[in-house]
Amino acid sequence: MKITLFGATGGTGGQVIRQACDAGHEVTAVVRDPARLTESHPRLTVLQADVMDPAAIGPAVNGRDAVVSALGSRDGRAPTTVCTDSMTSITQAMHAEGVRRLVVISAGTLTTDGDGPLTRLILKPMLGNLLKHTIADKRRMEDVVRASDLEWTIVRPPMLTNGPRTAAYRSAVDRNVRGGMRISRADLADCVLRCLADQGPINAAIAIGD
């Protein structure tokens, strides 16, 4: 499979690169600053481009089987539109290049469906206040994805850790995983690649947790 990855310089993006390339996929990582990308692999191609410019990222999207976005704001407490704006550009480029499959990493804080009372009534409101700008940006990003008419999957992880890949996480479609408070970036990347390999769920959100 030929995959275009945005957000390659982050912890999750690095995991996607390693796991995808090791599985035999070809990955094109779109980055603003190649010096910040620490991953290397014979199946990895690095393209320097501004994700906010659909024409600039078009060559990275053209001819690919799928696009993955692991983009996010680096300052979770400051007002931001990075996820919304980048996804608007990515979906425009995908439409222009005729690429349909999209997997986007969002956040488990966007919904309380499936949560237990403690998470729903105490933890989520606290996080919602602390990370209100990031959550608002992710919510608008999901709106862009849903309106795109692409074959999309939204992946909603809880708190991310640097733990190992276990492939033993739980998942739920269009609701959160009850009691799933954390997930490793390695397992998040595993889930993203499973969504691509299994071709689903299509036009749905999948939550994961330990």
| pLDDT tens digits, 65-96 | 999 999 988 776 778 999 999 999 999 999 99
Overall average pLDDT of the 103-131 stretch:
69
- Are 61 and 97 within 8 A, CB to CB? yes
For the chain, what are the domain ranges?
A: 2-209
DSSP 3-state helix, strand, coil percentages of the chain (rounded to 5)?
Answer: 40, 20, 35
CATH hierarchy code of domain 2-209:
3.40.50.720
pTM listed for this prediction: 0.91
> How does pLDDT run across 122-155, given as a tens digit for each residue?
666 566 566 678 889 999 999 999 999 999 999 9
Give kind and range of the element (H or E) at residue 57.
helix 54-61
Q: Which of 23-32, 108-117, 127-136 has the lowest mean pLDDT?
A: 108-117
